[in-house]
Amino acid sequence: MSTPPKITRSDSFFFRTGDVILQAPLSTPITAPTPTAAAVVQFKVHASMLSLASSFFRALVEDLGVSRDAGGGGETVIFPLTDHASVVRRFLVWLYHPYCECRATCFEGTREKLAQLEAFADKYDVPVLLSECARVAGARAL
């Protein structure tokens, strides 16, 4: 019998006006110390923002819109992700802060962290982020 994961709200990306929740794990089954140690972070964000950046999320939002119109009650939909919460947070910093110096923090850290963000951008079809990751990786290689 498995215990439900501990759910934490993001302190930076949990908007009252958000209409979709991205739910991401803080650990993977491989890194969790015990099965009961699983924890997830919820990011309550705006479907319109996700749709602008990603054709994947745009299609998802369209599908969710159809189900809401069909009597879903307009409740906030939870979309579980398999990507680590830190990667999702870096994506959201990039998405919500296009003109802020804090956006550069998305690309800080190890090559592995940049590769994780690049994989996220590729997986969810975020072409501008994918291009920026490649540019940063190329600049680091110099």
| pLDDT tens digits, 75-87 | 788 899 999 999 9
Strands 20-25 and 77-80: parallel
Residue found by looking up tokens 């190890």 in the block: 110
Q: With beta carbons less than 8 A apart as the criterion, state whether 44 and 9 touch.
A: yes
Look at residue 31 in the predicted model and tell me its pLDDT.
Answer: 52
Mean pLDDT over residues 46-62, rounded?
93
Whether residue 9 has pLDDT greater than 70? yes
pLDDT digits (tens, 9 = 90+) for 14-30: 999 998 999 999 976 55
What residue segments make up the domains of the chain, in order of their start? 6-141
* Orientation angle between helical segments 127-141 and 85-96, nearest 10 degrees: 100
CATH superfamily of 6-141: Potassium Channel Kv1.1; Chain A (3.30.710.10)
Please state, in angstroms and rounded to a whole number, the distance separating the CA atoms of residues 27 and 105: 21
| Partners of 20 in beta bridges | 45, 77
Whole-model pTM: value is 0.84
Please state, in angstroms and rounded to a whole number, the distance separating the CA atoms of residues 50 and 113: 21
Tokens of 50: 């996700």
Look at residue 68 in the predicted model and tell me its pLDDT.
Answer: 47
Please state, in angstroms and rounded to a whole number, the distance separating the CA atoms of residues 107 and 104: 6
Mean pLDDT over residues 20-43, rounded?
76
pLDDT digits (tens, 9 = 90+) for 80-138: 999 999 999 999 999 999 888 888 888 888 899 999 999 999 999 999 999 999 999 88
95, amino acid identity = L
Mean pLDDT over residues 27-50, rounded?
75
